[in-house]
Amino acid sequence: MSLRDTVQNTTQTSQPTYGRRGAAPRARARGQRARLAAWSIVAAGVILALVAILVAWPSGNSESAADAQAAADSALAQVDELTARIETLESDLGTATAALTEVERSDRSLAKRLDGATGRLDKALTRLRKSTDSATAAAESAAANASSALAKAEEAARRLNVLRERYDYHLRRYHGGG
């Protein structure tokens, strides 16, 4: 398992690699749907105001016409309020979209930095593994050399012991030593 997989598992990302995420299409689609819904409400309000005006218009009753005019004015005022509210919401949506874009840019930047750090760490771990393998091989070679040297030293000690015993034997036998 590479370090990249470990980091991805730790951070619980669902992306196969860092820095390759696209823009948030669902967020943009929601924004477009919100605008469409808001303008649909405004259009419905305008249509209701026009219907109220048309219903009151043909009658000759001035009181009904005044009521219809008042209803139409009220509907138009509500449409104006809705329009102002929609504009405010669109402004807020624009700000949120800009913030989302900034977060996505920061996310890509962070992912790029993590990719760089992951690459550097992978290289460092590879160098460390090579160094460790080299040191292990050198230690095994040194151990083998030490074992061989010990065997030779033991053989030399045995031979020296045999020579000393022969020397002592000859001293005792031919020179009257003790």
> How does pLDDT run across 42-84, given as a tens digit for each residue?
777 777 777 766 665 555 556 677 777 787 788 888 888 888 8
In a domain, 150, yes or no: no
| Cβ atoms 29, 100 nearer than 8 A | no
Residue 96 in domain: yes
Among 47-51, 97-101, 143-147, the least confident range: 47-51
Considering the domain boundaries, does residue 155 fall inside one? no
Cβ atoms of 21 and 105 within 8 Å: the answer is no
Q: What angle do CA 74, 78, 81 make, to 5 degrees?
A: 140
In a domain, 92, yes or no: yes
User: Are the beta carbons of 111 and 18 closer than 8 angstroms?
Assistant: yes
Q: Collect all residues with Cβ–Cβ distance below 8 Å to 72 and sequence separation of at least 6.
A: 49, 50, 52, 53, 56
Q: Are 19 and 115 in contact (CB under 8 A)?
A: yes
Which residue has 């649909």 as its token pair? 40
Which 8-state DSSP code applies to residue 177?
-
Report the chain's C-alpha Rg in angstroms.
Answer: 46
Is the residue at 103 inside a domain? yes
Query: 45 vs 107, which has greater pLDDT?
Result: 107
By residue range, what is the domain housing residue 108? 3-12+23-144
> How high does pLDDT run on average in the chain?
79
**What angle, 0 to 180 degrees and rounded to 10, lies between the N-to-C axes of helices 25-56 and 62-175?**
170
Nearest-angstrom CA–CA distance, 164 and 19: 79
Does 149 reside within a domain? no
Q: Let me know if residue 166 belongs to a domain.
A: no
Residue located via tokens 């690459």: 119
In a domain, 168, yes or no: no
Residue 88 has pLDDT above 50, yes or no: yes
Amino acid found at 11: T
Say how many domains are in the chain: 1
